[in-house]
Structure 1
Amino acid sequence: MAREDVDTEFHLFTNSTLGETVVAEEALGEAGVAGRQVHAQGNVPLGDIVISGAASLTALTHAIVTLRRQFKRGIMIDALGSEGLVIKSDGTLPRGLLVIRNADGQVEVRDAEGLSETLAGALSGRGQAPQQPSPQVSGTPNA
């Protein structure tokens, strides 16, 4: 079974005061991803809504690429924890920039193809390696 066929747990933090929650729900729906909304608790800004669920890597990549275009800030994706991907907009990042944090450090990604490959690599570093490697595309820059 390829990585794309395995559901990956995700937690998408959105800022409702910036309109991110509505945009995120639309992007997830367009990608065929269902999530459950809860108000974020703990050490997060007021107004943050967390959308949690599980989806294929292909569907998550589609949703994140849509968010990259529509969010007003850059996006940080934390693939370090065992609780799935943590995705949130980050005011310190310029609009359109995606940064994936994994065991190897931070990797900047700017295109959909680079995102899919980098997410698969980050997930494999957590012991969720795909059983079949994804095909490599030569000549496509990741930054």
Structure 2
Amino acid sequence: MKKTNVWGLLCLLLVSAFSFVSCSDDEGGIEDAGLIYGIWEPVRAQGYEVIDGDRSEWDYDVDEVNEDEYIEADYNRFGFYDDNTCTTWWYTGSGRWEVEYSGIDFSLDGNRLYVGGDYCIVSTLNSTTLVMEIHEVESDYEYYEKVTFRRVE
């Protein structure tokens, strides 16, 4: 199964150049854009990839993914700061996170989270949960992923 490391790709795109207004938790959406500030750790990843008509789907507990050497995916922590910079960390194993990129510009415009020159969609942002979605469609390829994060700081 070919699996794109979309969060690694997001970080790579950031270096080379890179889904949340008042709603209840059940409705999703953005309660307050200022809630983006903090450090967010991934907890669940769901999505699918279609290549030349072949569809593969996944629904992972991120702790299992990060610890399983046979799953071709990893997910990053994100830190968003009030100076509108972002830091990403990658998981090194045994509960350890190491800084991957730091000082990347970001902005939140409506439900679009721009990091560097690219964006993802923020579908939920509240005091405890951040949900980011990416959807790419090309003529013979489609990729969708929704990653749920929990606030850790």
TM-score normalised by length of structure 2: 0.27
Q: Determine which structure has greater relative contact order: mean sequence separation of CA pairs < 8 Å that are 6+ residues apart, divided by chain length.
A: 2
Higher fraction of strand: 2
TM-score normalised by length of structure 1: 0.28
Higher fraction of helix: 1
